[in-house]
Structure 1
Amino acid sequence: MRNLLLTISIFICSGLQAQNISTYTQRLNENWQFVREDLGGIWEAVRPVKEGQPEALPLWEDIELPHCFNASDAVDPDVNYYEGPGWYRTKLHIENPYENGRTLLLFEGGGQKTDVYIGTEKAGSHVGGYDEWTVDITEQLGSFPSDFNNVPLSIRCDNSRDLEMIPSDLSDFNVYGGLYRYVNLIYVPETYISQVHIQAVIGDDEKTGQIKIDGLLAGDRSNKTQLKLQLFNQQNELVEEELINTANETFERELTIKNPKVWSTDDPYLYNISIELTVNGQRQKYTDRFAFRSFRFEEKGPFYLNGERLLLRGTHRHEDHAGVAAAMTEDMIRKEMQMIKDMGANFIRLGHYQQSRIVLNLCDSLGILVWEEIPWCRGGLGGAIYQEQAKRMLTNMITQHFNHPSVIMWGLGNENDWPGDYPEFDKNAIRAFMSELNDLAHRLDSSRKTSIRRCDFCKDIVDVYSPSIWAGWYRGKYTEYKDVSLEEMKRVDRFFHAEWGASSHAGRHSEDPDMGLEHVRTGGGADERSGDAALVGGQARVSRDGDWTETYACNLFDWTLKEQETMPWLTGAAFWAFKDFSTPIRPENPVPYVNQKGVVTRDLTPKESYYVFQSYWSKKPMVHIYGHTWPVRWGKAGESRLVKVYSNCEEVELFLNGKSQGIKKRDAQNFPAAGLYWNVEFESGKNHLKAVAISTKEKYEDEFELDYQTQTWLPATQLKIEEIEIDKQYSWIKVSALDQNKVLCLDARNKVSFSVAGDVQLIDNLGTPNGSRVVQLANGVAKIKIEKEGERYSVAVQSQGLKTALLTQ
């Protein structure tokens, strides 16, 4: 275990929470300045500035942390996102309460290369955008003996392209720059606890729990140290207490407790640990959480948690959000993770890099099992510097996140069969390095499994392998899912299906979602191959030839979920991805530079597909009529139209315009919508739908109104623009595609561009369907929000081949 204690891992939160090494901790969120360019040297960041003199350059902007270089330009449709250096600066107020204590800066993550300066003196550096790291600034503070209220802290971050760094810039996500995770100021005594690893194992009799604790001390080791160790249950009741005396750099202790309670996805029971250090009359308190649980992947079979089969129902997460990119606050992260749990997920793959401890803490407390991986992603294999970074990040990931009971797999890479960064692509070299990482991971942590996704020539190296299966999107049809998965399962010892799904443009729906897909071939496998993700060339496929409707995506999800329920050998699967996210390699998508495979948009607005998953996975009763984001349906007068209801309740009754359409009983194997579907005849114009679900004699309801359009339309010839006022400050600008008869063209998918002039600005660069100034129409309509700064302004909407629409106030 001692070789695990290679890095300092700290998480900042209150009470007996995950890994907090000091009571004296402060998040440095406010009073920062930033400039997105390089400086000539550190003196430019700290030199005295007099207003109006040349020394005032460059111009710094006031910001708060967390902060990302690319909060806007990652999804700007007109530019490549910025990759280069940027500088941050602030003044520290130092009040270390410990005599001869140490002052630390903890970086929870920052991209991608970071240098730290106190005054003009360099205090530390780090390479890698996703692991935590700490800089001891005690010695540098000696240069400021008389003014601890204004200690200059300057930080240079750099996300420039670098072929000797991971991840590859060929990755399907932005390699962000900035201090996009929290920075913390920490005070500790001259001798302090820097790391603790906890292994909790249930005894064979299931009536006892063995706890092995390994700790690392840092700082001055000239004096003996006393440690007071306390264990508490989830109710904060004292379970065990011991005193430890040590004169070494490490300490160990093994404890046994009676009748341990296990952690599970339904009941994530956590124990708390407190270790109080006393040396020379000074005290430090370390707190953390841990849990008892066991798991196994049966060879050629399912997954077991605490001895019982558990179908892993999962998704994926990128650290990305509208308006802030990677700089998600704790509140944003908490909201997202709660939505994932409310959807019914019990598993998540953190793609494609180690993520914030806030995420891991929430997985622990919410009951979400985790596959976490290092960012060795695409491009091939670099040289010695590249490989050293990968090994260092793997070591850091395991040592820093070792105590989280939610983690069951350490991912070693993603799509490492994808060439492009180097003239040569050497499969044997990749295999050799993958083996080296696999051995390292097992040495660091023998209790968890290793895993990779999509690198067939390395599938025999790791413990758990996920092939590429995209039935119904990049290859084949979704009805092939079960057969293809069974064949892939037979090729490896332990199979898991990571990444499946479909892109959907939120707000786009279809009365015939399979139209035009008759040329998609079946029987040739459903893996993603070179060029399949492109929107041009290659064989017929839904990703290129489909219309990216929510309707089709829901059908694909619905079919696949019902099949997964009937695959007794399946360990589990994780659809890609929970939330739409930015990517530099998809400029032609309906929302430019956004991967739209999420079941929520980039601002966490649920798409219809969110409720498909909830209907299969959630244990909390729910009912949702498909089409809340489908305001206008169409067809002939008197023509039957399908209405689907997603629910996990036993039976549902549907009402159209107050009249019952009958009661349907839920049957998970009755596609679509588990049998909760009706063919109804809408009236021309306004219609009201209401669904009443019954579960254990309780009623749950959902309802909304829609228009039914019976007028047919010709190709679009004009754009209609209108302003819909929200309040005195904000309005929606809505554009509609009309034909020569001014009939709404409900299948129009034209790309439109919004622009403004005068006392107004667009609320754009959010990477959402309603927050991009360039976007494809959804059922003939698009909209964007404006902020009004006065009474005189103009808005224009352009689309190739159509006359520009103008609105002037």
Structure 2
Amino acid sequence: MYARILFNTFLLTLLLQSGLHAQGRFSSTINSNWLFTKGDTAQKAVGSVWQTVSIPHTWNTQDVLDDEPGYYRGDGWYKKTLYIPAGWKDREVYLYFEGAGQSADVFVNGKSVGKHQGGYTFFSVPISSALRFAQSGNATNDVVVRVNNSVNENLPPIMGDYNIFGGLYRDVYLNVLDKVHFDADNQATSGIFITTPQVNAASAVVQVKGSFVNGTGSSRNLIVSHRILTAEGAVLAEQKKTVKANAGQKVDFVQDFKDIKGQRLWSPDDPYLYRVVSRITDAATGQKLDEVSNPLGFRWYAFSASEGFSLNGNSLKLIGTSRHQDYPGMGNALPDAMHVRDVELLKEMGGNFLRVAHYPQDPAVLQACDRLGILASVETPVMGFTDSEAFASSAKQQHREIIRQTYNHPSVIIWSYMNEMLLRVPFATDSTKQQAYFRHLTDLARELEAMARQEDPARYTLIPNHGAFDLYNKVGLTKIPRLVGWNLYQGWYGGTLEDFGKFLDMHHRELPDKPVLITEFGADADNRIHSFSPIRFDKSVEYTMLFHQAYLKAILDRPFVAAGMIWNLTEFNTAVRAETLPNINPKGIMTYDRKEKDPYRFYKANLLKAPYIQIGSKEWNRRVGTAESESQLTCSQPVVVFSNQPTVTLTVQGKVLGTAETKQGMARFTVPFVNGLNRLVATVSGSTVVSDQADIMFRVLPPTLKNPQLPFDELNVSLGDSRFFFDEKTGQNWLPEQVYKPGSWGYVGGKQYVMKNNSRVSFGSGRNILGTELDPIYQTQRTGIEQFKFDVPTGDYELVLHFAELISKTVNNDIAFNLGQRAVPEVYIERSFDVLINGQEVISGLSNSDVLKTDQPVATKFMVSVQNQEGITVSFNVRQGETVLNGIQLKKIR
């Protein structure tokens, strides 16, 4: 890819300098040296505010990650000077955009040459009529593009749990064509559409449809040919036809390959690709006028309501993920290689399906799916609904563009449209308006369905719905598409893990003739949070593992379930979320920067065929815990090893700890960690020995803090919390709170803060704590606390107290895509209290009316000298309301 781009750039430079042009089609990116400014250019001095940028580019790389609500949604302007050779006067020149978020207006030399609505589809703009040409040499031509990502109620999507980035965030091309060329004005396609009406193991039929344009002033005799080439370049089949095209005529054509023999089938295990090379040649001179190449894969497939999915006659359970297209610090403006890498990560996991959600993505994504053998659905970004003709028109236009632009990819088997359309239904108190809303929504769904079946009768159609089965069934959205998708989160936003299987069985019972796909399932996993007693919505890696185990088993146990699509391949940016990772949806089975989480390892262990082994939670490589006893100075903690082999042997410090059977791809061990370095080696034996190693620095705390064999050095405690928190940046581990034990440490009095009237969060808060990355520490607290005690020996210590007010005077809107019951706001009560250390007042009247502001962390450090074995006692004296403490740290200095 990069070699091709470099070559094209070199060739473009050569052409621009010489004024020559090659035969046929010429295409090259023009990504370098654009100028950019943000906002209303009429209010700014020209030349004073422009900055040089390269495409792909978005103006939302930083503001989507900060603590300020929202991000810039408005105008962005791009401009560039093109140097156009005189020889292109007799050619057709187009600007081709792979994506502009969300709408674009294109100007050449001050003349409007095109507009486009929709941030995720390609568009092509003919610019020849606006170009300036010199008599010889090159002429300067100015291109200006206005891009806008403002909220627009008539431009889908209008809601979603992801960011609507602005900018020219995908490649921009300059395409130069002969006057005779394949249709370049058909929804930014190649003008060629390939189908395989019949395929079986022995033979196949291929049909090539399309059109071309004779833009010259005279009639031409032309040869239109199509060759099917193997991956090695040999000709499998060829068709030619001589056509007479009148001046200015557009000619449609259909050419059939009716009896192809010996074709190699395309599948995830063997994604063999052919190419269909289509060419227009001048019949008199033999000159090549245009040529395009498209992929071809021979496969047939079917969905069944009782037997799931089959490919090439063989049953195949579709297991994969959805994917968002952004990356930290880059927004959605990624180079091709990063898009491809995500598809490779899915393949390396053992997945065979990608839900391209909630919008079509960079062309490199489906190219990679074709090449790697990943089946795919592509989704029209209708999320939210405005009952207007303008909204419906835009939805239909984007739907048509998507189908035609991705038509020739053999990996695509489903056209999906709409997503969770009844998640937030308006007009709750006006049944007449609500029924009209439902009626117009289903009318649009029927129109999109009809368009998909007309454009492409062979592929399946799909609407993904959230778990309100009765509502979707009543409104009719389960009846319109050929397939039904469910986005299910039982055991996360509400209910239990067992409810997931019950829902699947209900669908099969109530809709026995409708194939079902699980289009979303997942649970938040903050890779810094761990729990040995995980509970729903605690954001721990361990609860997320329980979730995925239950869901994968239920999907695999039911033959009628065609597919399970994890939400999501990676964490992604969403400015509407707070919780432990503000601005991030952490349901990804990989981190935002594409590091493995345990769920990713779990799927590897269950899907891969080659021998695999990996020690779980390897990134938690610095740990802490309390020794079994004063004499037995080891701390036993669970360790999971992921493997697809029957048994796993674990060695600790060079000695075999034991051998365990794997169940659902996991072998479980209890490891007696010692103070200091612990080397774990997991091994499986067979025809090939595979192993994995993890080095874990462990700090063992004695049951009493004055144990001479384990001198006290540091302790970090998260109040109101039952989880471990590992801060990778500092290497610090935060322990869950414990009640005070004489000789040890802990709290005295109070209760764990629990957000009232909330069905999801069993403790703490989901608020964004501003100006800190320690959100999990500040989101939990002990209210009404009386004391915190450390029975440490004599010495000098650094003590840090952490406070945050978690109740607001104002009401915050809940996130629409958090599918549980909304929390009822708590009553704000003023609080004020004093803090004393060993009887000395160090904070007087800490109050939420001044210093202790809502969502703002307060951290205060003190030096404490302990003498006469008195230890450290932090006392809290209430003046008004309740006392609070969110976190406490103690470190010995000397």
- TM-score class, shorter: 0.7 to 0.9
Q: Does 1:283 align with 2:289?
A: yes
Alignment correspondent of 1:126: 116
Summarize deviations over 1:371-404 as a string: whole Å, max 9, x none.
11111012x3331111011111111111111111
Q: How does 1:229-244 map to 2 (within 5 A)?
A: 229-244=226-241
Q: Does 1:223 align with 2:244?
A: no
Alignment correspondent of 1:253: 255
For 1:561, what is the secondary structure of its paired residue? helix
Structure 2: gaps (5+ residues): 8-22, 184-190, 466-471, 629-633, 704-714, 720-727, 754-769, 780-799, 805-856, 863-894
Amino acid at match of 2:518: H
Q: Does 1:664 align with 2:677?
A: no
Alignment correspondent of 1:268: 271
Amino acid at match of 2:40: D
Alignment correspondent of 1:452: 463
- Structure 1 residues 694 and 150, CA, compared in 2 at 3 Å: closer, same or farther? farther
Query: Does structure 2 retain, via aligned residues, the 8 Å contact 1:201–1:294?
Result: no
Q: Does 1:171 align with 2:160?
A: yes
Amino acid at match of 1:803: A
Using the TM superposition, give the Cα deviation of residue 419 of structure 1 relative to its aligned residue in structure 2, in angstroms. Answer: 3.7
For 1:443, what is the secondary structure of its paired residue? helix
Query: Does structure 2 retain, via aligned residues, the 8 Å contact 1:798–1:805?
Result: no
Alignment correspondent of 1:400: 405
Match of 2:533 among 505, 512, 527: 512
Rounded to whole Å, the distance in 2 between the matches of 1:265 and 1:714 is 49
Q: Does 1:346 align with 2:352?
A: yes
Rounded to whole Å, the distance in 2 between the matches of 1:736 and 1:96 is 68
Alignment correspondent of 1:652: 648
Alignment correspondent of 1:314: 320
Q: Does 1:409 align with 2:414?
A: yes
Structure 1: gaps (5+ residues): 1-11, 16-20, 45-53, 515-541, 718-730, 751-771, 782-795
- Considering only aligned residues, what root-mean-square deviation do their CA atoms show, in Å? 3.3
Summarize deviations over 1:494-527 as a string: whole Å, max 9, x none.
111111110011221122213xxxxxxxxxxxxx
Query: Does structure 1 retain, via aligned residues, the 8 Å contact 2:79–2:145?
Result: yes
Query: Does structure 2 retain, via aligned residues, the 8 Å contact 1:737–1:780?
Result: no
Alignment correspondent of 2:298: 292
Match of 1:440 among 437, 443, 451: 451
Query: Does structure 2 retain, via aligned residues, the 8 Å contact 1:22–1:186?
Result: no
Summarize deviations over 1:508-548 as a string: whole Å, max 9, x none.
1122213xxxxxxxxxxxxxxxxxxxxxxxxxxx3xxx320
Match of 1:187 among 176, 186, 195: 176
Rounded to whole Å, the distance in 2 between the matches of 1:421 and 1:219 is 52
Alignment correspondent of 2:613: 623
Match of 1:485 among 497, 501, 504: 504
Summarize deviations over 1:642-662 as a string: whole Å, max 9, x none.
221111123210112222122
Alignment correspondent of 1:761: none
Amino acid at match of 2:404: T
Match of 1:209 among 204, 214, 223: 204
- Structure 1 residues 219 and 604, CA, compared in 2 at 3 Å: closer, same or farther? farther
- Structure 1 residues 714 and 403, CA, compared in 2 at 3 Å: closer, same or farther? closer
Rounded to whole Å, the distance in 2 between the matches of 1:559 and 1:105 is 50
Structure 1, 614-623 or 479-488: larger mean CA deviation: 479-488
Alignment correspondent of 2:524: 503
Q: How does 1:31-70 map to 2 (within 5 A)?
A: 31-40=33-42, 55-57=46-48, 59-70=49-60
Q: How does 1:157-168 map to 2 (within 5 A)?
A: 157-168=147-158
Query: Does structure 2 retain, via aligned residues, the 8 Å contact 1:639–1:681?
Result: yes
Using the TM superposition, give the Cα deviation of residue 627 of structure 1 relative to its aligned residue in structure 2, in angstroms. Answer: 2.0
Scaled by the length of structure 2, what TM-score is found?
0.72
Q: How does 1:320-719 map to 2 (within 5 A)?
A: 320-378=326-384, 380-419=385-424, 425=434, 426-454=437-465, 455-456=472-473, 457=475, 458-492=477-511, 493-514=514-535, 542=536, 546-586=537-577, 588-630=578-620, 631-637=622-628, 640-668=636-664, 673-674=665-666, 676-711=667-702, 715=717
Rounded to whole Å, the distance in 2 between the matches of 1:610 and 1:289 is 30
Rounded to whole Å, the distance in 2 between the matches of 1:56 and 1:64 is 17
Summarize deviations over 1:75-115 as a string: whole Å, max 9, x none.
21224111100000111122486671101111111111100
For 2:396, what is the secondary structure of its paired residue? helix
Using the TM superposition, give the Cα deviation of residue 140 of structure 1 relative to its aligned residue in structure 2, in angstroms. Answer: 0.5
- Structure 1 residues 288 and 773, CA, compared in 2 at 3 Å: closer, same or farther? farther
Query: Does structure 1 retain, via aligned residues, the 8 Å contact 2:5–2:29?
Result: no
- Between 1 and 2, higher relative CO (CA 8 Å, sep ≥ 6) is seen in 1
Rounded to whole Å, the distance in 2 between the matches of 1:570 and 1:744 is 50
Using the TM superposition, give the Cα deviation of residue 146 of structure 1 relative to its aligned residue in structure 2, in angstroms. Answer: 6.8
Query: Does structure 2 retain, via aligned residues, the 8 Å contact 1:317–1:577?
Result: yes
Using the TM superposition, give the Cα deviation of residue 684 of structure 1 relative to its aligned residue in structure 2, in angstroms. Answer: 3.9
For 1:467, what is the secondary structure of its paired residue? strand
Rounded to whole Å, the distance in 2 between the matches of 1:237 and 1:799 is 71
Match of 2:74 among 75, 84, 92: 84
Using the TM superposition, give the Cα deviation of residue 202 of structure 1 relative to its aligned residue in structure 2, in angstroms. Answer: 4.2
Using the TM superposition, give the Cα deviation of residue 572 of structure 1 relative to its aligned residue in structure 2, in angstroms. Answer: 1.5
Scaled by the length of structure 1, what TM-score is found?
0.80
Amino acid at match of 1:698: V
For 2:505, what is the secondary structure of its paired residue? helix
Summarize deviations over 1:409-428 as a string: whole Å, max 9, x none.
10121011134689954111
Rounded to whole Å, the distance in 1 between the matches of 2:499 and 2:679 is 37
Rounded to whole Å, the distance in 2 between the matches of 1:323 and 1:582 is 10
Rounded to whole Å, the distance in 1 between the matches of 2:401 and 2:136 is 37
- Structure 1 residues 598 and 394, CA, compared in 2 at 3 Å: closer, same or farther? same
- Structure 1 residues 340 and 716, CA, compared in 2 at 3 Å: closer, same or farther? closer
Query: Does structure 2 retain, via aligned residues, the 8 Å contact 1:189–1:282?
Result: no
Query: Does structure 2 retain, via aligned residues, the 8 Å contact 1:621–1:700?
Result: no
Rounded to whole Å, the distance in 2 between the matches of 1:744 and 1:735 is 19
Using the TM superposition, give the Cα deviation of residue 554 of structure 1 relative to its aligned residue in structure 2, in angstroms. Answer: 1.8
Query: Does structure 2 retain, via aligned residues, the 8 Å contact 1:119–1:151?
Result: yes
Match of 1:803 among 837, 859, 863: 859
Rounded to whole Å, the distance in 2 between the matches of 1:130 and 1:213 is 26
Using the TM superposition, give the Cα deviation of residue 465 of structure 1 relative to its aligned residue in structure 2, in angstroms. Answer: 0.6
Rounded to whole Å, the distance in 2 between the matches of 1:805 and 1:82 is 37
Amino acid at match of 1:178: G
Identity %: 25
Query: Does structure 1 retain, via aligned residues, the 8 Å contact 2:613–2:690?
Result: no
Count of residues in correspondence between the two structures: 693
Using the TM superposition, give the Cα deviation of residue 215 of structure 1 relative to its aligned residue in structure 2, in angstroms. Answer: 1.4
Query: Does structure 1 retain, via aligned residues, the 8 Å contact 2:25–2:289?
Result: no
Amino acid at match of 1:223: R
Query: Does structure 2 retain, via aligned residues, the 8 Å contact 1:97–1:187?
Result: no
Query: Does structure 2 retain, via aligned residues, the 8 Å contact 1:505–1:778?
Result: no
Alignment correspondent of 1:7: none
Amino acid at match of 1:658: G
Query: Does structure 2 retain, via aligned residues, the 8 Å contact 1:711–1:743?
Result: no
Alignment correspondent of 2:826: none
Query: Does structure 2 retain, via aligned residues, the 8 Å contact 1:592–1:774?
Result: no
- Structure 1 residues 695 and 391, CA, compared in 2 at 3 Å: closer, same or farther? farther
For 2:355, what is the secondary structure of its paired residue? strand
Query: Does structure 2 retain, via aligned residues, the 8 Å contact 1:591–1:774?
Result: no
For 2:107, what is the secondary structure of its paired residue? strand
Summarize deviations over 1:564-611 as a string: whole Å, max 9, x none.
33222221110100111111321x222211111101122112222210
